[in-house]
Amino acid sequence: MIKTARRKKAMKFILCAISIISLLSTAASSSEEAFEPSGKIIFHSYSSYEASDSKLKIYDYSSDDMLNIESPNFYNAMNGDFGATDSDIVFMAINKEADKWDIFRYNTISNSFTNLTYDGHYRSEDPKFSPDGYSVVFKQGYWSNEFDSFIYNLAEIDLMTGKISMLTDDISEESMPCYSADGKTVYFAKGVGADSGIYSLNKETKEISEIYDRKGIQEYYPITNADLFYFSGWISENNRNDGIFRVNNNEILPMPFNNADFNCSDPFPIDDKRLFISSTQKGNYDIYLYDGEKLNEQSKLNTDTHELGTSYFSKNDAKKISTQASDYILEKNQQCNNADADGNGEIDIFDLIHLR
């Protein structure tokens, strides 16, 4: 009888443990299914690219606030990117005075704008922050009478000094650059249209390597977030709808939501399985969140125009800098005026926020 009672108690314990594990597993699964972004997303919206009416916006998922980024000094703002903090932003827009594309930096705390590329007659586009937030890579173009067209190369600006350095110097169009997780490599699109592919540039050696370049098929818009790496490209040579592809070691993996009947473009990875994209499955480009299983429309972001070019800053963003501002300035032996990290012309608490 004693042994039987013990067996019953043991069985009850096992069943109880199984029930607890099952509940925990269900809760974890429900938590994953109920994932909602809590950070900030920047994107642009326009009626058509040719209309030059693009508006840049930041939506805060936590507060449900939408911020429109506007200034009388520029128009047609697009392709925004977050820096080391969610208050530090770069984007491209047409400079009203010079009537050309420039790279602008915006601080949401001080509400200040800085034109990073105002000097000269170059066209500057497609900016992306370095992982540490101290540099910006972009494409820069000039008119060539010899080729009767613009020639675009890759450039990088040091935000502490304002110095612009050229990373490439050739006649192939290079565009849409972004950094690797360690900042030592720049990924970019090389070529135009059906002749474009995804390439990498070693910043130290200047060596350029092919990553993916299918003949007769456009690949473009590489994007990284930490170790995650995606790009867009045509479905096939005969189907020019965009699909999204993930670079996983040496494999190029098409995403499961790609569809021959509509575009899936402009990816921005949140984590290993989630990413924002823009898709035309309802007609215009709208923003969707892929949760690892399905696409979820972001109705608070989408309008009757086209929404594209997302960049997301999570509360646990890996790009945040932990270095103390004073230590950094002393280590680099910078002059005080070079510590104006937010570009508002003053050394103040906002610079400490950016440099810490």
SS3 279: strand
pTM for the predicted model, two decimal places: 0.82
Neighbouring CB atoms inside 10 A of 338's CB total 16
What's the average model confidence in pLDDT over 72-85? 98
- Cα separation values, 341 from 88, 102, 155, Å: 9, 19, 20
Residue 85's nearest CA partner among 65, 103, 58, 66 is: 58
Cβ proximity of 55 and 44 under 8 Å = yes
Nearest Cα to Cα of residue 309 among 274, 263, 275, 278: 278
On the question of pLDDT at 254 being above 70, the answer is: yes
Q: So where are the chain's domains?
A: 36-321, 323-356
Q: Give 241's DSSP letter.
A: -
- CATH superfamily ID and name for 36-321: TolB, C-terminal domain (2.120.10.30)
pLDDT for 19 beyond 60 = no
Q: Is the pLDDT of residue 241 over 90?
A: yes
**Which residues on neighbouring strands pair with residue 125, listed in sequence order?**
139
For residue 121, the model assigns a pLDDT of: 84
SS3 content of the chain, % helix, strand, coil (to 5): 15, 45, 40
Say which DSSP state 38 is in. -
| Percent of the chain whose pLDDT exceeds 90 | 76
pLDDT at residue 54, rounded to an integer: 99
- Whole-number average pLDDT of the chain: 87
Higher pLDDT, 327 or 17: 17
Residue with tokens 């509400």: 111
How confident is the model over 36-51, as a mean pLDDT?
A: 97
Q: Which of 33-47, 77-91, 95-109, 172-186 has the lowest mean pLDDT?
A: 33-47
pLDDT at 328 over 80: no
Banded model confidence at residue 304, pLDDT cuts 50, 70, 90: very high
